[in-house]
Amino acid sequence: MEGLVNFLNDLAVGGSWFLPTACYIAASYCFITGAWGIWQQRQPQNPYVDRPWVPYASIVLAGVFAAFDRILTKSAHSANLDVQVSLNSASPTGYTGGVSPISGTGPHDAIIEVVKDFAMFFETFGAWVAFFAVLSWQGAMTGKNNRSRLGCICQFTLGVILLNPVKEANWLLSYWPN
């Protein structure tokens, strides 16, 4: 299990280093397409005749992507999670060999220990899920994909929930009988 935990933690570190780059690329894309859309509204071949709000929403989404860590932190606080998201640094955590993942008084403790071991991967995965939800919402807004806006909101909510997997695992396990 040590190798799997270390491998997934390394994937999480790589993903957390690449996420700020993806956010700034998405922010640049949204800003350029928003500015282009605003400019196109004065042209006769305006692609946003039936949706004049799309370029302005794209500019707002550029700000969302540029401040994505603060958006995730505020969303996590709204969900009553004690999470501070930072895209500036990744704090790698490794497997601690002295602690057995199957410890405690029963299966609840064993599941919590396994979730703690994989917590960094779940946190990074949750941030990426939220990132792709906002990106998909931008595509649905401009008509580039066929996603529903409610589906994007549900995906973003799942990403925020995954930011604190230990708290969510404790909540889920509270419904299981002892």
Domain ranges of the chain: 2-42+51-87+100-173
Q: How far apart are the first and last CA of the chain?
A: 26
How open is the CA angle 11-16-22, to the nearest 5 degrees? Answer: 115
Contact 116, 166 (CB under 8 A): yes
**For residues 153, 155, 161 and 166, what is the CA-based torsion angle, rounded to 10 degrees?**
170
Taking residue 175's Cβ as centre, other Cβ atoms within 10 Å add up to 6
Taking only the tens place, the pLDDT of each residue in 6-58 is 888 888 888 888 888 999 999 999 999 999 989 888 888 877 778 888 899 99
Q: What is the pLDDT of residue 56?
A: 93
C-alpha–C-alpha distance, residues 113 and 107, integer Å: 10
Taking only the tens place, the pLDDT of each residue in 142-168 is 888 888 889 999 999 999 888 888 888
Contact 169, 115 (CB under 8 A): yes
The 8-class DSSP code of residue 104 comes to: S
Q: Does the pLDDT at position 131 exceed 90?
A: yes
pTM of the model: 0.81
Contact 85, 124 (CB under 8 A): no
The 8-class DSSP code of residue 97 comes to: T
Taking residue 177's Cβ as centre, other Cβ atoms within 10 Å add up to 3
